[in-house]
Amino acid sequence: MINKKVQDAINVQIKNEFYSAYLYLSMAAHFEAANLLGFAKWMRIQSQEEMDHAMKFFDYLNDRGGRVTLFAIDQPPSEWKSNMEVFQQVYEHEQKVTGMINQLYELAVKESDYPSQVLLQWYITEQVEEEKNASFIIDQLQMIEDRDTAVLMLDKQLGKRGGE
């Protein structure tokens, strides 16, 4: 049976992962409205990854004999001033998620919950990748600034995510 404090904290993180999925889906809608379908596709895939992260926690709690409790998800923003603003928010959001995962890990250590520590190590590694990906796109956007042709080229490149 999973430790109650860790279970409660994971339930909060499930909500946070679903919020991340919702945020990225809102960003996908923003890009679709702007006819940047590659950016939109990238965000849809990102949203699905966050759903997968939430479900990994969901399944983990069930596997450990815990109880999943789903909480309300806040409405994400739906308007951004620029492509750069969107990806800066992605990067900042991923940094925030990294902090949440680190706090969960610290709790698992404090509570001597070794299986949760193993699970959370996967998330810690994942967050390094998430922050790196967002930072990389910000760097590319900074290089192209407001050159519309370059934005379209980046849009096409981002649309190749997922191999489709």
Closest C-alpha among 129, 159, 136 to residue 42: 159
Task: Please tell me the predicted confidence (pLDDT) of residue 146.
Answer: 62
Task: Please tell me the predicted confidence (pLDDT) of residue 164.
Answer: 56
As a whole number of angstroms, the distance between CA 47 and CA 93 comes to 13
Into which CATH architecture does domain 4-67+80-163 fall?
Up-down Bundle (1.20)
- From first to last of its 164 residues, the chain has per-residue pLDDT tens of 899 999 999 999 999 999 999 999 999 999 999 999 999 999 999 999 999 999 999 999 999 999 999 999 999 999 999 999 999 999 999 999 999 999 999 999 999 999 999 999 999 999 999 999 999 999 888 877 766 677 777 777 888 888 75
Closest C-alpha among 127, 129, 126, 137 to residue 31: 137
Question: Domain-by-domain residue ranges, the chain?
Answer: 4-67+80-163
pTM to 2 decimal places: 0.89
CB neighbour list of residue 75: distance below 8 Å, 6 or more residues apart: 22
Tell whether the torsion through CA atoms of 61, 65, 9 and 116 is positive or negative: negative
Q: Within a 10 A sphere around the Cβ of 1, how many other Cβ atoms? A: 7
Helix, strand, coil % in the chain, rounded to nearest 5 = 80, 0, 20
Radius of gyration (C-alpha) of the chain in whole angstroms: 17
As a whole number of angstroms, the distance between CA 162 and CA 42 comes to 8
Q: Within a 10 A sphere around the Cβ of 101, how many other Cβ atoms? A: 22
